[in-house]
Chains A and B, each alone.
Chain A
């Protein structure tokens, strides 16, 4: 009962436009006052401080910084040139280029919004100039950008791993197959639209052009791949890998490409700091509420009650999928992870769901949430660049959301899809 009162109070404050982190903090504050009086408030600054010092979460600002530096180094242009050289001969080539470039870019960036902003400003105008509708241009860019959170590195995965106390490295590995599968299926859908709209072919396939583009883009592909290899191989932690990615980005931008745009970099850095702070304040405030929830054993009681209704993990997974899809309509993914994961993890463990498997399911769900209005961050960026109406774009985007839903279903009910590489590399 207490958990429903607490979350009800949080929801009321959120609906009244109180920032979610502060709604969590205020409700926790009242609960602490109620339980322990004014003396208990002395713990509040201590918990708010320790809640913001989680070492694994240092990877978040560092991956954002690495992505910002690479993007300020002209990397988007080179990746687009490479994709164009390889897929330019296909009908509707620019849509294919958008998806393939997003797959490449996902290996560097952990943020779908960053992908959409970086690639959209180049690819959406290019598509529109070739006669692609603005709705289709925005839809393909938006959905392809979501692959960034499924393919490693992924900021929601880092956050989930910290909240669920599970291995971020295994999560990264588990994201590879669903991410690539999603990209390939999106290419099929894009080809279908290309036939339907009679979209143009860009250029003939030319091996010399492919080789030249590959040489140009190789640094920006190989160095991040090596760093991810180091993380997967246990040579460095995810946080250290993120710091190495920053170093690699600086070397690529200043020594190899010599194109680092300092003004763009500073702006992106400050944006990154702000977004890190927003997420970390949520984490700290949830730690404050978490202490109270732990004291009253609310998640355990909820898990016991839910497990008493059904012990079927498939049924539980279906219900949790529905919950996350619903939350994705209204909540940003960091908020959804921070609010829900600590509460549902005891239930997930009680019915025997692998936390890495569940992490992938959560990530894909929230990736879909980035595409579904009214709160659809990535879609909003794409629509803003394309100057297209969000609901008109959504009509086209339903096909791509369908692909993500298919990947979600496969990942949920065929655990080998996300976990095959994890078992191959780490056993179990």
Chain B
């Protein structure tokens, strides 16, 4: 197994643990909110914290989706291109993906300084902590994209990226 494959596997496992735990935590938190409301002691913070958990699932999950190449895209046209066209398309794709998330990481880090000292409305959790998911998630997305880059270059060279039909269709599991 190459060093890249080992790092890819490690990152995938860590992201799976984080996102799996966040999902369980979200379910437990919403259930606690219902239980306390039924007991006429509603938790004032429950929907705000649940929304924060959803944002964390979004960005850590997005990095995981990048690693698994699961973001919704339309590869039909570029797959039919000759070698040169594939390289041009790949260069545009990588510039767009890496450029967008590098800007997000940069601006996301800057905004954390502005938000220092602020807390959520209903509970004493620093906003800088909740919003840290943006620069961290963006950086993880960049790492995931770079780990997949050699495979994409091999595809542009004329190799075939094998994606099973079921894997491809699983992109729409949420539908």
Contact = CB atoms under 8 A, between A and B. Distances in A.
Interface of A: 13-23, 25-26, 29, 41-42, 44-46, 48-49, 52-55, 57-58, 60-62, 64-65, 111-114, 117, 149, 155-156, 236, 239-240, 242-244, 246-247, 266, 269-282, 284, 330-335, 366, 370, 374-375, 377-378, 380-381, 383-385
B31 A113 contact: no
Interface string B144-172: 00000000000000000000111011111
Category for how many chain B residues contact A: 35 or more
A11 B155 CA distance: 22
Contacts of B33: 240
Nearest to B164: A384
B23 A53 contact: no
A300 to B, nearest CB: 28
B100 A22 contact: yes
B171 A49 contact: no
Contacts of B68: 274
A280 B92 contact: no
Contacts of B59: 52, 277, 281
Given A41-B107, A247-B31, A334-B72, A16 B169 contact: no
Contacts of A370: 172, 175
29 contacts: A17-B75, A42-B111, A46-B131, A52-B54, A53-B52, A62-B26, A113-B170, A156-B175, A240-B33, A243-B34, A246-B31, A269-B20, A269-B23, A273-B57, A274-B173, A275-B70, A275-B174, A276-B57, A277-B57, A280-B54, A281-B59, A282-B72, A332-B171, A332-B172, A334-B172, A375-B74, A381-B166, A381-B169, A383-B165
B51 interface: yes
B65 A274 contact: yes
A236 B78 CA distance: 47
Contacts of B111: 42, 45-46
Contacts of A383: 165
Contacts of B103: 29, 41, 44
A111 B174 CA distance: 5
Contacts of A156: 175
Contact of B173 (A17, A22, A57, A111): A111
B29 to A, nearest CB: 9
* 6 cross-chain pairs, A with B, having the tightest CB-CB distances, nearest first: A277-B61, A377-B172, A19-B71, A243-B30, A53-B51, A384-B165
Interface of B: 16, 19-20, 22-23, 26-27, 30-31, 33-34, 47, 50-55, 57-62, 64-65, 68, 70-78, 89-90, 92-93, 96-97, 99-100, 103-104, 107-108, 110-111, 114, 131, 133-135, 164-166, 168-175
A374 B76 contact: yes
A304 B175 CA distance: 32
A20 B71 CA distance: 8
Given A64-B173, A243-B34, A19 B107 contact: no
A381 B76 contact: no
A1 B33 CA distance: 47
Contact of A19 (B72, B78, B92, B175): B72
A34 B73 CA distance: 26
